Amino acid sequence: MSSESFLKEIQGIGEKFLLKLQKLPKAEPVEIVCFCVVLLFIVTVLVLMIIACSCCCYSCCGCDGRPDTRSKRSQVRPAAH
């Protein structure tokens, strides 16, 4: 998929979303509830992705800039006789 077609697809989705928002005040209550559920699902997924990425980054790098040495394991080699 080229970048132009991807941008056109994103623009089309954005236009549909804005059209849906414009029609929302005149919509039926069931349609409003469905729209809110879908919107809540999208927001929940984005928040969970942000939390997962921040936890992963925190455990990998740490906030103070030092790598976490507790997660590293050293290899044990057999003793030579």
Neighbours of 54 (CB within 10 A): 10
37 in a structural domain = yes
49 in a structural domain = yes
48 in a structural domain = yes
74 in a structural domain = no
Domain, as residue range, for 38: 28-55
Total domain count for the chain?
A: 1
Residue 56 predicted with pLDDT over 80: no
20 in a structural domain = no
2-42: pLDDT as tens digits: 888 999 999 999 899 889 889 888 889 998 899 899 989 99
The count of C-alpha atoms lying within 13 angstroms of the C-alpha of 31, restricted to the half-sphere facing its C-beta, is 8
39 in a structural domain = yes
61 in a structural domain = no
Q: Write down the pTM of the prediction.
A: 0.54
6 in a structural domain = no
Strand ranges (E), 1-81: none
Residue 59 predicted with pLDDT over 80: no
**pLDDT confidence of residue 35:** 87
